[in-house]
Amino acid sequence: MDFGRSALIVIDVQNDFCPGGALSVKGGDEIVSPINSIMNKFYRVIATQDWHPEDHLSFASNHRGKSIYDEVEINGIKQVLWPAHCVMGSNGAGFHPDLDQNRFHLIIRKGTDPQIDSYSAFLENDKKTKTGLEGYIRSNNIEEVFLCGLATDYCVFFTAMDAAELGFKTTVILDLCRGVDMPENNIRRSINIMIGKGITMINISEIL
């Protein structure tokens, strides 16, 4: 496989999304070493971090009478309420300690505005506010993006969908992702939607 001017986007491989974290994704730590092993294949490596203030609207603890995983509507946008996670500057917001940060060309921090959540690495959940990633990719003449990380059915999914919508050739390295699967079967549903959008699914063996 020829990677040419391609970018690897490593999504939210942070302590709070790994086992023992505030919003643990099952097997989230299993993908760290394999991700390290493929970074040198790509022209650019971009990493994302959830980076929330303590009063972020996505935290169930900031909504009186609401529980974790409740869904509410705020400013016309549906919002799942999560445990408090990836609070900016905290250990939980840090990258997994075994992730090779020396290979990163760019780090995108998202979800920094207390009034809006951001699953995608390209656009916040209002689908208008840009993170700057699109401009970086276009200015570097990157032709294709490969995605891996956490979680398959949320931040990987929304990043992939936006990448495809923006016209980038988009590939998800499926065995280098792990999902929340909330609600049940959400991982399979998300994969099917991505495939329907023309997004390619591969495994690490096709890279190595």
Q: For residue 84, say if its preceding peptide bond is cis, omega within 30 degrees of 0.
A: no
Q: Is 155 noted as a catalytic residue in this protein?
A: yes
Among candidate residues 29, 155, 162, 177, the one labeled active-site is 155
Under a CB-based contact definition with an 8 Å cutoff, are residues 160 and 200 in contact? no
> Which residue among the candidates 110, 153, 162, 177 is catalytic per the annotation?
110
Pick the catalytic residue: 12, 29, 117, 162? 12
Residue 41's Cβ-count burial label (10 Å; 0-12, 13-18, 19+) is: middle
Could you write out the DSSP letters of every residue in 40-107? GGSSEEEEEEE-B-TT-TTBGGGSTT--TT-EEEETTEEEE-B-S--BTTSTTTSBPTTS-GGG-SEE
Backbone angles phi, psi at 175, to 5 degrees: -80, 0
Query: 2 catalytic, yes or no?
Result: no
CA distance 69 to 94: 23
Residue with tokens 């909330």: 182
CA 88 distance to own-chain centroid: 16
Distance CA 173, CA 180 (A): 17
| 12 labelled catalytic | yes
Catalytic residue positions, numbered: 12, 110, 155
